[in-house]
Amino acid sequence: GAVVSQHPSRVICKSGTSVKIECRSLDFQATTMFWYRQFPKQSLMLMATSNEGSKATYEQGVEKDKFLINHASLTLSTLTVTSAHPEDSSFYICSATWTQASHYNEQFFGPGTRLTVL
C-alpha cells in the first residue's frame, strides 16, 4: 500500500512554455503533499508543502509565481512550471502523507519526473 505515482516520468519542452507535473496517491487520501527538486548528483531540496484545499507553503527562495502548486483533491497535486527556462531543468519528486500515517506521518515518495527545458 501507500503508492504514489507521478506523470509524466520524463518531459522535454521549449524555453518559455509551461509544464504540468501530476502527483497522485493511488491507494490513500493524501492530506499533505510535498514537492522536491533534485539537481544532478545533489540532494533533495524541499520546494513546497501543500495541504488539500489550501494554498501551498513555499520554502524560502522558491518563486511562487513560477512554480504553481495545486492540491485540489485528496489524491492529486500538480506542479506547474510556468515559462520554463533551461535552469529549471531538474528532477522533480513528490511525496505524500496523511494524518495518522503512523505516528510519525511517514512520507511516501513518487518515482520522480525528469524535466528538460531546451
Partner 1 sequence: AQSVTQLDSQVPVFEEAPVELRCNYSSSVSVYLFWYVQYPNQGLQLLLKYLSGSTLVKGINGFEAEFNKSQTSFHLRKPSVHISDTAEYFCAVRATSGTYKYIFGTGTRLKVLA
Binding site for partner 1 (CB under 8 A): 4, 6, 32, 34, 41-44, 46, 49, 91, 93, 95, 97, 103-107, 109-112, 114
Measured distance CA(72)–CA(56) in Å, rounded: 11
Query: Which of 19, 30 has the CB closer to partner 1?
Result: 30
Measured distance CA(50)–CA(55) in Å, rounded: 7
CB 97, min distance to partner 1, A? 6
> What residues contact 30, with CB distance under 8 A and at least 6 apart?
4, 52, 74, 75, 77, 96, 97, 98
Query: Which of 66, 114 has the CB closer to partner 1?
Result: 114
CB 64, min distance to partner 1, A? 18
Query: Which of 76, 82 has the CB closer to partner 1?
Result: 76
